[in-house]
């Protein structure tokens, strides 16, 4: 597996902190929108199919995460799948913001690209809250 890319994630952490400091909530929203655009481009470059469903999500998100040094795992469930981060992608933001806007920045675009509106997600565990990993539970609503 590729080593955690601290320089890559550090750039996004610094960008987040500067935008939050200068623009508050509007800056956080700008950071989230930027993340969404960059993730979408990354998935298009890998040949991912928009609306490809859970299998495409697991394949392409897993490859992308591993390519930047994140240890992630997936487990299928009867109603969807579980996506776990065993590496904290943004450790230098811990204590400087809530984990929710960070999670929204990477989960919402992934869901929009691969899954669509018939899916929902719950974050049931988070590293910042003392859990051994961050866990996102995806379920198909229809």
The two structure tokens encoding residue 53: 């469903």
Whole-angstrom distance, CA of residue 130 vs CA of residue 112 = 29
Quickly list DSSP for 90-108. Answer: -GGGBTTB-HHHHHHHHHH
Across 82-105, average pLDDT: 97
pLDDT score recorded for residue 18 = 98
CATH 3.40.50.150 fits 6-140, yes or no: no
pLDDT at 1 over 70: no
pLDDT tens per residue, range 41-65: 999 998 999 999 999 999 999 999 9
115 is written with which tokens? 């899954």
pTM, whole model, 2 decimals? Answer: 0.93
Which backbone phi and psi does 51 adopt, to 5 degrees?
75, 20
């Amino acid at each position: 597996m590729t080593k955690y890319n601290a320089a890559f994630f550090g750039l996004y952490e610094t960008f987040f902190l500067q935008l939050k400091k200068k623009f508050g909530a509007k800056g956080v929203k700008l950071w989230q929108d930027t993340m969404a655009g960059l993730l979408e481009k990354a998935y298009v470059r890998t040949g991912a199919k928009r609306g490809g469903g859970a299998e495409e999500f697991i394949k392409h998100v897993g490859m992308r995460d591993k390519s930047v040094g994140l240890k992630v795992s997936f487990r299928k469930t009867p109603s969807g799948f579980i996506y776990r981060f065993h590496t904290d992608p943004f450790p230098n933001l811990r204590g400087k913001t809530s984990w929710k806007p960070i999670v929204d920045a990477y989960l919402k675009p992934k869901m929009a690209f691969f899954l669509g509106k018939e899916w929902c997600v719950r974050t049931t565990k988070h590293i910042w809250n003392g859990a051994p990993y961050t866990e996102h539970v995806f379920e198909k609503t229809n």
